[in-house]
Chain A
């Protein structure tokens, strides 16, 4: 033992003095281990040495020391008091690490001490001395932490300090939820509600009130949060949220403060603004998850706030979760009830606990949780349902042995006392203690939170005597008179709040006598068995934002006594020897000097003074709701003046801004009480029973005119103040005020007009936009409510929004985005606004003469707005889409193009509207194809009808049925065929521009979605001519744009719908223009030609890519085509592709033409002849050489082509220089015995005749009989030929027979066998000779 002590001492010394930090730390650790291991009594001797380490220069050592203290403290609390000063000192350590650790350690020890005290107090009824000392240090510790939290310093330390404060509030606020539960094992979680009885050292009441103070600190911090660093603000919000969630009695306070902060923080420009807002959001969502009835009451407001924060979705999700849990819970409670019914009646009393016990037997965690909720719920339900029994109990006094079978329940219900009831019970207990208790009572009441105090008073009122005391003096009668005018009895409860509300600060000790007296008067035994329902029924109306809810109304008879009883309280108050004059004087004084009001002063000064200046300022009847509202707002006002006003404003049933009640005789400071005077006035009324006070200001109703002028003045003032450079805060408030003003002045146009001008003045600085939205949102929220002015507000809303939109249009250039932004953020868009957009997009920009009416950019602006609405506002998507689509059909091309660009490029990409757009475009296409122009017009506006596919389908089929006969006639390319045209015209009176108007959109969509193209092809066959023309205009652009990705096109090409051949041709033409058609395309087209469409003209565009072997088989068909097409085909064939060269050379073409056998190939000879002619026309292609080559090839054919001689003749006609060549051909023909081919023979003779005298040589080669017949046919030849032959050199070479034919027979016939060869040479030389000449 001694050795370990020595060891510890040496280690501590090392920790203190050693040079090396690591050694110090490890020594400290070892010392700690020893201290923890040895007997606490022994260890306690060493603790002072340990405490010495606090002056260690190393922060790490100090931090480690703090940790050590924590461990030792938790283990041997009894002895660790000596260490507490160290912890306290560390709180202010220069190193935040140490300070933080000391907070952490201190917090743990704090909780431990509390637990220990509870145990001692509850078991032994007293607290040991050492523990008292510990507790005192702990209180010091708390004080220090409060200071740390409040004062500027290291942020991370302050965060922890805040957490401590949260913990503190939670510890010392009664936890209702825990009351019914058994103490957790080990008593881990301390709560003030576990403390039974009181002790001079640890007085639960005092502690609770201190917790209230701490809460107030936190609320104060929140109100100043705009000056705090972001993470501190977040921490404060989180702490408050946690308190609100876990202790519902504080919820309303916390919620109001957070709301005020929410509206406040928007204007602040701090770091982490987004995070701060997010933490608010999280806090609100956390509230939503709570099932406590106090919080459930505020659910609507929570939801509203969350929606305003754009967290509506998350909120709804949470609500769904909660509802699911609740449903499960209900089911569980039903089960529980069933079980209960099974039990004998003696167990009925166990009702409450039964539900609670049951879950314990369940293993499933989830179920247990649900049941837990169920038990809570069940309890609340039980509470509300037991009004009657509670009443009974109250009537029958505290007799717990009442014959009433239900009476045992009372005790159970008592177990579930609300905080108010607990407080009352506590007060009762204190009173029972007599003299000693009175002191505590005084302290207690001085520290009770105003809210709670109010509830206590209300709850207690129920037990006041029912017989009204005589009504004395004017105060009473006035109150009653006022009550008579009040529509909701709920209001009656309000006066009783006043004492509390006028005491915003818990520190105002002056209030004590009054409150204590009123409570003291209730010290009858009943106080302890107050039924919570009565409290709820009176509290509900106040908390419920919809206070006019009839369900909550209490019959007036029940209420009047309450008010009168209040007087009774006061009379009792006299009995209790309280100094009432003092009290009333105090109350009177407070109204003028309360910190709240003086804070408020600066803000309202402008307002107040301006009002003061007008002569119209006559106090007006105050709306009762405002009356009630005063209390919560006063609380908020305590923490922040700005919060005050914004809080008031955000209330639904608020005091109307202009309902300002004032008395001209009052001082300006009183004038400033614009929102709270009702409270003051009424208070005065009450107090007058005891003392004379200034006469109550009477309320005078303003007439409409006065109202308007006050409103206007107010308005001007607000605007004035908003223009102030430092009016940022007030700007926010001003906006809210303006929103309300506008809401009320539905009829007053001038106000809206003023506002409009004001807004437009500084719209660009963003403030205008915010203001507009503020007004709109407010109007919207009113119009959405059930209140009377909702419809008026709806009208104002629409009007205001419309006017704003119009003025934005007027004021700003088209490039301005304000309009779009406004529409995008406005809560709802009435139809008139959509109409405005529609007009913006759809009215003409120029008149018929092309004169510009307005800026085309406006259309762009409108469409831009429409676009953003479609993107951002799903609710208006359809309407906006309608506008855009309508615009896409606009008759003016410029507008239409803009709209089409939007629809096709942007909107069509959006999956949720793509289908609608497609349907629309389709229906327009169909309507263009199928309908007369008038029908088209008729079906334009109602988009939805057209989206009815059935209708489209039926139109389509019916018309296709009726129009089939026309489709061929309407074939567009053959327009030269006259008959077709009038027919097509007859079908539709559509103009080309009209057709284009209707189908442009569709083509734009095709660009994005090529599969739509098929529809064009389908429709094309039936389309009237203007539509076809329009299609022809669009398709090139489209096809080119589709470019490489024409797989869709290929499909269409492979199977074109009937009637679309011309379109197909056009497409093919475009596809092959300037580019080489892809192999796919070629294959497809070839396949089509081979299978379906026998029209060879579709192949024409492909021809350049065809090889010779491919072209030749189809060549006859090509020749059969109309001349222009053949010409085209010819050009393509000859053109060829860059890779393969031409499919056929010109010579080959000629040969191919000549190879056609009309009978066999089914081609008219005329067509072949035309083809030849076509060739000859192209003299640059079919040159002399080409012809010679072709003829040379052909002449060797057997049989000779039918048209051979014709071509020869044409060739010689075209190119006379070919004559020598032709003569050679002719000679060849002679040798081929041309005379045996009758058709050619004719041609031969014709050729010979035409080519004389060059042909003489050839003629002379003919055998004599043929020569004879030819000369007989062409008699004119005989003479020249004879003359030619009689030339000596020729004559010598001619056979005798020939000569005899020519009549030159007298000559000798020598060298006969020689003839042929010499003749040939002679002939050729003679021909040469002639060409020379």
Chain B
């Protein structure tokens, strides 16, 4: 049976999506989520982030930001990122709201806070499925370069874990 992987970061934009895209390309059964209360993207200044609800399509964000300030968002890599995300899935998903997505075998988080939230959520869930899940935190800074490195590491790790799951379980 194919193992299912979940990539989880805060906003389901950069780190988890980078990993999602990569693992998807490599043929993994992978999903991605965010654990924050909202999707936050950098804005013109630190104090003015662009805030969206989970479920807002990437395309929508893309169009809106392109309308707002195409130069800025192109320069800081947000537009290219959103474009990439559009090609991976429709909209960012919130981990806590998508428990029905079914059991994962491996959950990779990219930040300790996210890891904690995933654990908290898992602990609070009604435990019906009785399935074990491996939750791993891979600390990755939230920028494009680190996300790329992190995704590669995530891929390597998932390959290893895949072998392990395959042989041990």
A97, A156, A286: which contacts B132 (Cβ < 8 A)? A156
- Of the candidate stretches B81-89, B119-127, B147-155, the one touching chain A is B119-127
Residue of B nearest to A317 (CB): B113
Q: Fill in one digit per residue for B119-162: 1 if any A CB lies within 8 Å of its CB, else 0.
A: 11001000100101000000000000000000000000000000
- Is B169's CB under 8 angstroms from A282's CB? no
- Of the candidate stretches A159-167, A386-394, A1078-1086, the one touching chain B is A159-167
- Is B130's CB under 8 angstroms from A163's CB? yes
Q: Does B116 contact A (CB under 8 A)?
A: yes
Chain A contacts of B120 at CB under 8 A? 282, 285-286, 289
Residue of B nearest to A96 (CB): B169
B116, B123, B130: which contacts A238 (Cβ < 8 A)? B123
Q: Cα distance A1129–B153 when bound, in Å?
A: 64
Q: Fill in one digit per residue for A260-289: 1 if any B CB lies within 8 Å of its CB, else 0.
A: 000000000000000000000010011001
Residue of A nearest to B137 (CB): A278
- Is B132's CB under 8 angstroms from A282's CB? no
- Is B132's CB under 8 angstroms from A159's CB? yes
Q: Does A319 contact B (CB under 8 A)?
A: no
Q: Does A241 contact B (CB under 8 A)?
A: yes
Chain B contacts of A314 at CB under 8 A? 113, 116
**Known A156-B169, A160-B132; contact A282-B127, beta-carbon cutoff 8 A:** no
Q: Does A104 contact B (CB under 8 A)?
A: yes
- Is B123's CB under 8 angstroms from A241's CB? yes
Chain B contacts of A159 at CB under 8 A? 132
- Is A282's CB under 8 angstroms from B119's CB? yes
- Is A167's CB under 8 angstroms from B127's CB? yes
- Is A163's CB under 8 angstroms from B127's CB? yes
Q: Fill in one digit per residue for A205-246: 1 if any B CB lies within 8 Å of its CB, else 0.
A: 000000000000000000000000000000000100110010
- Is A242's CB under 8 angstroms from B130's CB? no
Residue of B nearest to A231 (CB): B132
- Is B130's CB under 8 angstroms from A160's CB? yes
Residue of B nearest to A167 (CB): B127
Determine how close the nearest CB of chain B comes to the CB of A1161; give it in whole angstroms: 57
Determine how close the nearest CB of chain A comes to the CB of B78; give it in whole angstroms: 25
Chain A contacts of B123 at CB under 8 A? 238, 241-242, 245, 282, 286
Residues in A148-187 with C-beta less than 8 Å from chain B: 156, 159-160, 163, 167
Chain A contacts of B168 at CB under 8 A? 156
Q: Cα distance A103–B131 when bound, in Å?
A: 11
Q: Cα distance A285–B117 when bound, in Å?
A: 11
Residues in B47-86 with C-beta less than 8 Å from chain A: none
What secondary structure prevails in chain B residues at the interface with A? helix
Interface size of B by Cβ–Cβ distance < 8 Å? 10
Determine how close the nearest CB of chain A comes to the CB of B107; give it in whole angstroms: 14
B113, B119, B130, B169: which contacts A107 (Cβ < 8 A)? B130
Determine how close the nearest CB of chain B comes to the CB of A1332; give it in whole angstroms: 87
Q: Cα distance A287–B165 when bound, in Å?
A: 32
Q: Cα distance A159–B134 when bound, in Å?
A: 12
Residue of B nearest to A314 (CB): B116
Residue of A nearest to B120 (CB): A286
Q: Cα distance A163–B125 when bound, in Å?
A: 13
Determine how close the nearest CB of chain A comes to the CB of B121; give it in whole angstroms: 11
Q: Cα distance A163–B119 when bound, in Å?
A: 16
Chain B contacts of A286 at CB under 8 A? 120, 123
Interface size of A by Cβ–Cβ distance < 8 Å? 19
Q: Cα distance A159–B132 when bound, in Å?
A: 8
Q: Cα distance A97–B127 when bound, in Å?
A: 19
Residue of A nearest to B113 (CB): A314
Q: Cα distance A590–B127 when bound, in Å?
A: 41
- Is B130's CB under 8 angstroms from A104's CB? yes
Instruction: Report which residue of B113, B119, B123, B130 has the largest number of chain A beta carbons within 10 angstroms of its beta carbon.
Output: B130
Determine how close the nearest CB of chain A comes to the CB of B95; give it in whole angstroms: 16
Q: Cα distance A1322–B82 when bound, in Å?
A: 102
Chain A contacts of B116 at CB under 8 A? 282, 285, 314
Chain B contacts of A163 at CB under 8 A? 127, 130
Residue of B nearest to A103 (CB): B130
Chain A contacts of B130 at CB under 8 A? 103-104, 107, 160, 163
Residue of A nearest to B134 (CB): A231
Q: Cα distance A699–B14 when bound, in Å?
A: 69
Instruction: Report which residue of A156, A241, A282, A289 has the largest number of chain B beta carbons within 10 angstroms of its beta carbon.
Output: A282
Chain A contacts of B113 at CB under 8 A? 314
Q: Cα distance A700–B124 when bound, in Å?
A: 53
Q: Cα distance A238–B130 when bound, in Å?
A: 14
Determine how close the nearest CB of chain B comes to the CB of A625; give it in whole angstroms: 34
Determine how close the nearest CB of chain A comes to the CB of B66; give it in whole angstroms: 33
Q: Cα distance A470–B103 when bound, in Å?
A: 68
Determine how close the nearest CB of chain B comes to the CB of A244; give it in whole angstroms: 11
Determine how close the nearest CB of chain A comes to the CB of B167; give it in whole angstroms: 12
Determine how close the nearest CB of chain B comes to the CB of A1193; give it in whole angstroms: 63
Residue of B nearest to A105 (CB): B130
Q: Cα distance A245–B123 when bound, in Å?
A: 10
Chain B contacts of A104 at CB under 8 A? 130
Chain A contacts of B169 at CB under 8 A? 96-97, 156
Q: Cα distance A160–B116 when bound, in Å?
A: 22
Q: Cα distance A289–B117 when bound, in Å?
A: 12
Q: Cα distance A97–B113 when bound, in Å?
A: 33
Residues in A94-119 with C-beta less than 8 Å from chain B: 96-97, 103-104, 107
Chain B contacts of A156 at CB under 8 A? 132, 168-169
Chain B contacts of A107 at CB under 8 A? 130
Determine how close the nearest CB of chain A comes to the CB of B160; give it in whole angstroms: 16
Residues in B96-129 with C-beta less than 8 Å from chain A: 113, 116, 119-120, 123, 127
Chain B contacts of A167 at CB under 8 A? 127
Q: Cα distance A242–B119 when bound, in Å?
A: 12
Residue of B nearest to A163 (CB): B130
Residue of B nearest to A238 (CB): B123
Determine how close the nearest CB of chain B comes to the CB of A165; give it in whole angstroms: 12
Residue of B nearest to A164 (CB): B130
Q: Cα distance A104–B130 when bound, in Å?
A: 6
Q: Cα distance A159–B123 when bound, in Å?
A: 15
Instruction: Report which residue of B113, B116, B127 has the largest number of chain A beta carbons within 10 angstroms of its beta carbon.
Output: B116
Q: Cα distance A549–B149 when bound, in Å?
A: 55
Determine how close the nearest CB of chain B comes to the CB of A110; give it in whole angstroms: 11
Q: Fill in one digit per residue for A131-156: 1 if any B CB lies within 8 Å of its CB, else 0.
A: 00000000000000000000000001
Residue of B nearest to A100 (CB): B130
Determine how close the nearest CB of chain A comes to the CB of B2; give it in whole angstroms: 15
Q: Cα distance A1274–B127 when bound, in Å?
A: 131
Residue of A nearest to B126 (CB): A189
Determine how close the nearest CB of chain A comes to the CB of B133; give it in whole angstroms: 11
Determine how close the nearest CB of chain A comes to the CB of B115; give it in whole angstroms: 8
Determine how close the nearest CB of chain B comes to the CB of A652; give it in whole angstroms: 28
Q: Cα distance A242–B127 when bound, in Å?
A: 11
Q: Cα distance A163–B123 when bound, in Å?
A: 12
Q: Cα distance A764–B127 when bound, in Å?
A: 48
Chain A contacts of B119 at CB under 8 A? 282
Determine how close the nearest CB of chain B comes to the CB of A141; give it in whole angstroms: 14
Q: Cα distance A637–B46 when bound, in Å?
A: 54
Q: Cα distance A160–B129 when bound, in Å?
A: 11
Chain A contacts of B132 at CB under 8 A? 156, 159-160
Determine how close the nearest CB of chain A comes to the CB of B96; give it in whole angstroms: 11
Q: Cα distance A183–B61 when bound, in Å?
A: 44
Further contacts, 11 of them, CB under 8 A, given A97-B169, A104-B130, A285-B120: A96-B169, A103-B130, A107-B130, A156-B132, A238-B123, A241-B123, A242-B123, A245-B123, A282-B116, A289-B120, A314-B116
Give 26 A-B contacts (CB < 8 Å), ordered by A residue. Answer: A96-B169, A97-B169, A103-B130, A107-B130, A156-B132, A156-B168, A156-B169, A159-B132, A160-B130, A160-B132, A163-B127, A167-B127, A238-B123, A241-B123, A242-B123, A282-B116, A282-B119, A282-B120, A282-B123, A285-B116, A285-B120, A286-B120, A286-B123, A289-B120, A314-B113, A314-B116
A residues lining the B interface (CB < 8 Å): 96-97, 103-104, 107, 156, 159-160, 163, 167, 238, 241-242, 245, 282, 285-286, 289, 314
The 7 closest A-B pairs by CB, nearest first: A104-B130, A282-B119, A159-B132, A286-B123, A156-B169, A160-B130, A107-B130
